[in-house]
Amino acid sequence: MNTKQRAISKDTFGLSGQIALLTGASSGIGRACALALGCAGVKVVINHLPEASNEAAKVCQEIEDVGGDAFAYAADVSNEAQVAAMFAEMVARFGTLHILVNNAGIESSAKFQEMTLSQWQKVIDVNLTGMFLCSREAIREFLRRGAQPDVSQASGKIICMSSVHQEIPWAFEANYAASKGGVDLLMRSLAQEFAPQKIRVNAVAPGAIRTPINRSAWRTEEAMKNLLDLIPYKRIGEPDDIAQAVLWLASDLSDYMNGATMFVDGAMSAYPAFRGAG
């Protein structure tokens, strides 16, 4: 737990007592979001892959250390039965759900002419079908439970982790960019469908954030220099930069925000190569 996370008081966001499920929360952006929500008094379910059990247990411990409540659950978000079982366990232990953070995501880069069907399929399965399955379970629970105006103005909140690559084409990552383009229209279609039920669906589009997924882009001095050429704000993002946006989107402070994507990217999506050119 770092000082930024500890500074999040239980009162700032009015989230205390709400229940959240975060996918892919054993490391990187998902972990930071889980810690931030935990500090804000939210009870959290830490979804992770079986091989990340130790890391997930540590995230739960860190939340418990600040007086929060969390449990870890291993499930593949692209597996319908595992997702259904995870949501059933959450309802059994915490009673309901208020916030879903669809965060799990993977990359599998290849020259397009060499990309295998399984590379294509795996990325679409985790990044897009996983969001479909988890969002469907969340929506079912929000509709079943209905409004709880004393808890939140919205009857439920879904936050999808997209990417600047829902907008910026990405050579050698066509599967990833296609999945994130899909996330954008999945998110907006859900917002349109469920706004009348007071369910809010939004997305965060991170730029380059210092996490294991893009280690090769920041690990060496040379890689970092090349990366910073793509970031007008001239620093790499940290997982907490994204967690702060997620906290706000989960809270009633953003109650009128629905069907929108927040780009949190140091202006990476402002096409920096066009500065003084074109």
Q: Report, as residue numbers or ranges, the catalytic residues.
A: 176
CB of 222 to ligand BGC, least distance (A): 15
Closer residue to ligand BGC, CB minimum distance, 165 or 198: 165
> Nearest distance from residue 105's CB to ligand BGC, in Å?
7
| Full 3-state SS string of 81-105 | HHHHHHHHHHHHHHCCCCEEEECCC
Q: Give CA–CA dist 27/34, Å, rounded.
A: 10
Q: State both tokens at 167.
A: 């907008």
Query: Do 249 and 202 contact (CB within 8 A), yes or no?
Result: yes
Residue placing its CB nearer to ligand BGC in the complex, 80 or 184: 184
> Site residues (CB under 6 A) for ligand BGC?
107, 163-165, 207-208, 213-214, 217
Positive/negative CA dihedral, 263, 268, 271, 272: positive
Which C-beta is closer to ligand BGC: that of 160 or that of 208? 208
CB 64 within 8 A of CB 35: no
Q: How far is the CB of 101 from ligand BGC (least distance, A)?
A: 16
217 versus 257: smaller Cβ distance to ligand BGC: 217
Q: What is the maximum span of the chain, computed from C-alpha positions, in angstroms?
A: 58
Look-up: residue for tokens 């009128």?
256
Q: Closest approach of Cβ 265 to ligand BGC, in Å?
A: 8
b vs e for 121-134, b when ≥16 Cβ sit within 10 Å of the residue's Cβ? eebbbbbbbbbbbb
Indicate the residue among 130 and 207 with the shorter CB distance to ligand BGC: 207
Please report how close the Cβ of residue 272 comes to ligand BGC at its closest, in angstroms.
12
Burial of 106 by CB count in 10 Å (0-12 exposed, 13-18 middle, 19+ buried)?
middle
